Structure 1
Amino acid sequence: MRFIPLVPAALVLMLTAACSQAQPDKTTDSPTSAGVDMPKGGDRRKDKNAAAEIAGLSKVGSLKGKVPESSGLAPAPESGNYFSFGDDGNSPTLYEISGSGQLIRTIDVPATNTDWESLSRDGSGNYYIGDCGNNESTRRNLKIFKFRPDSPKSVGTIAFTYSDQREFPPKKKQRNFDCEASLWHDGQVYLFTKDRGQDRASNVYTVPDQPGTYTAKKVTSLAIPGQVTDAALRADGHRLVLLGRGELFILDGNSWAEILKATPRQISLAGAGQTEGAVFKDDSTLLISTEKGDLYEYKLP
């Protein structure tokens, strides 16, 4: 028979206390504290109270039961309405909503939804659906679908790869090829990456707005200490807003070139939830959606 020595009770208590102190703090409110996505659960009552205390932010509606996991926003053809959509795992559908979250109609898009993450519109009424979510930087089938709501059966495909990606996936510290934000500007679709490595930057790439297969050209890298989830450009072209998880980054300039060289101004929206979609309602007001279905207006300072 083998004898197992007894551990003194005092020592057991000391070891238990030490292990408890080593556990990570799971209640942090920082959206970028660990460089990872915010949890999808959490105390919704706490979030609601925190959101109510954010200056300039007001809840205007809900997308729950209407848009599954809203991941972006763009103006719809009818003034005052907007398009949204669900990300990976959801159908390839655009949902037209009012500014208060009422569902107007749905449009089925004849395209795959591997991981839709962004949506923008050009001046001629074409929409660009970014199927470029790439959490692990492993995808070789990145696409942007060019689509018109008045021709719902026709879709053009802009396929692309990143000019500086050599490995699929790269090492974890170098995974900056996930894109959840894009916008159309002057004949190009601009892509803003969501850094999942350690660069603490959003890389900016462009591809032409015409169907074809391209190598995305890297334009610049923005010092963004967060993970970009959407992009919106003001109508006058002088202000770019990059949405993050519970935060905003504002870049101002007299031209697009100046904007891309501007120092981002960071605004905390901690407590608003997992913010995923942003669009300008007017020059000083954003409409913001969350993955959980909350719809907010935010008055920009």
Structure 2
Amino acid sequence: MTRLPRELRENSGIESTSSDGTVWAINDSGNNNSLYKVGRDGSLLREISIRHSENTDWEELTKDRDNNLYIGDFGNNDNKRKDLAIYKVSDVNNIHGNTAQAEKITFEYPEQKDFPPKKKHRYFDAEAFFHSGGYFYLFTKNRSKPFDGVCYLYKIPAVPGHHLAERIGEYTFCKDKDRCRITAAAISPDGKTAALLGHENIWLFSGFENDNIFKATRKENIALEHYSQKEGLCFTDNHTLLVSDEEEGSSGRNLYEFRLPED
């Protein structure tokens, strides 16, 4: 579709809050605590610095129905963080100026007792979540050695305060860590389809009746036939996904459009 601006070499999350083709994006650890607005042609339209926030390891971006954005600061490669956070940026389409204030939501995994746990129990990294019905649904990125392919699904209230994340589901994708670690998540505007991203696959879940999307009656694994460090995913409508990847050498830092088949 287009190349992202150089400022987003390490982009880690994208979200769409309008129908004009623009997207919001963030970078991960070691970069500014900023939101970037990008045009459909890849041009950088805005950079908004987020006050009262710290980019320890920003890994995901999602929104609610009021176009409030939520930044997932829960990257946890070594499974030793005790400061997992989500930042809420209100009414992002009506921010004036180049700064905005964030509300902070914090959480922890009740199952984690050691920081870090033994390598075979390192299930507490995450790069994927979405907002739905007043809750966040967070999908873990498996760091276990040996890699067992399990992804855990957690539910977290989307309100200020400190929360214990509730584990509500699990799913084994595959035993290949390069292909089956989950790097982003999104839910369609009608709430009927959840999408999860890997470096070369998109998994779709539909026909779920409760919080555990892994109990969906329809599951589809779509091979993208292109391997890169894909980390950003969002819906623009019920049948269109945007995907972004990080820069690697002379490749990457792209924004792709993917159309889902309509029933």
Report the alpha carbon displacement of residue 256 of structure 1 after superposing the two structures with TM. 4.6
Instruction: Report what 2:257 is aligned to.
Output: 297
Instruction: Report what 1:95 is aligned to.
Output: 36
> Which one-letter code corresponds to 2:76 in the other structure?
N
Contiguous gaps of at least 5 residues in structure 2: 175-179, 248-252
Instruction: Report what 1:166 is aligned to.
Output: 113
Report the secondary structure of 2:120's partner residue: helix
* 1:131 paired to 2:73: yes
Q: Alpha carbons of 1:125 and 1:281: their partners in 2 closer, same or farther (altered >3 Å)?
A: closer
Report the alpha carbon displacement of residue 236 of structure 1 after superposing the two structures with TM. 1.2
Q: Which runs of 4+ in 1 moved over 4 A?
A: none
CA contact (8 A) 1:238 1:255 kept: no
Instruction: Report what 2:167 is aligned to.
Output: 218
Q: Alpha carbons of 1:259 and 1:145: their partners in 2 closer, same or farther (altered >3 Å)?
A: same
* 1:83 paired to 2:38: no
- CA distance in 2 between partners of 1:105 and 1:234 (Å): 26
CA contact (8 A) 1:238 1:256 kept: no
Instruction: Report what 1:18 is aligned to.
Output: none
CA contact (8 A) 1:280 1:287 kept: yes
1:273 to 213, 216, 228: 228
- CA distance in 1 between partners of 2:77 and 2:208 (Å): 34
- CA distance in 2 between partners of 1:156 and 1:91 (Å): 18
- CA distance in 2 between partners of 1:230 and 1:280 (Å): 12
CA contact (8 A) 1:156 1:211 kept: yes
* 1:251 paired to 2:192: no
Greater share of helix:
1
Report the secondary structure of 1:90's partner residue: coil
Instruction: Report what 2:149 is aligned to.
Output: 200
Instruction: Report what 1:282 is aligned to.
Output: 237
* 1:176 paired to 2:123: yes
Instruction: Report what 2:49 is aligned to.
Output: 108
- CA distance in 1 between partners of 2:241 and 2:43 (Å): 17
Report the alpha carbon displacement of residue 137 of structure 1 after superposing the two structures with TM. 0.5
Instruction: Report what 2:190 is aligned to.
Output: 236
Count residues in correspondence. 242
Under a length normalisation based on structure 2, what TM-score does the superposition of the two structures give? 0.86
Instruction: Report what 2:250 is aligned to.
Output: none
Q: Alpha carbons of 1:134 and 1:254: their partners in 2 closer, same or farther (altered >3 Å)?
A: closer
Report the alpha carbon displacement of residue 64 of structure 1 after superposing the two structures with TM. 4.0
CA contact (8 A) 1:116 1:131 kept: yes
CA displacement, residues 59-97 of structure 1 (integer Å, 9 cap, x when unaligned): x10014132311111113564211111100110011111
Q: Alpha carbons of 1:122 and 1:291: their partners in 2 closer, same or farther (altered >3 Å)?
A: same
CA displacement, residues 248-287 of structure 1 (integer Å, 9 cap, x when unaligned): 1111115454733126422222424111111112222211
- CA distance in 2 between partners of 1:258 and 1:190 (Å): 9
* Rg larger for: 1
Under a length normalisation based on structure 1, what TM-score does the superposition of the two structures give? 0.76
CA displacement, residues 225-252 of structure 1 (integer Å, 9 cap, x when unaligned): 2111111111111111000112111111
> Which one-letter code corresponds to 1:261 in the other structure?
K
> Which one-letter code corresponds to 2:150 in the other structure?
A
> Which one-letter code corresponds to 1:118 in the other structure?
E
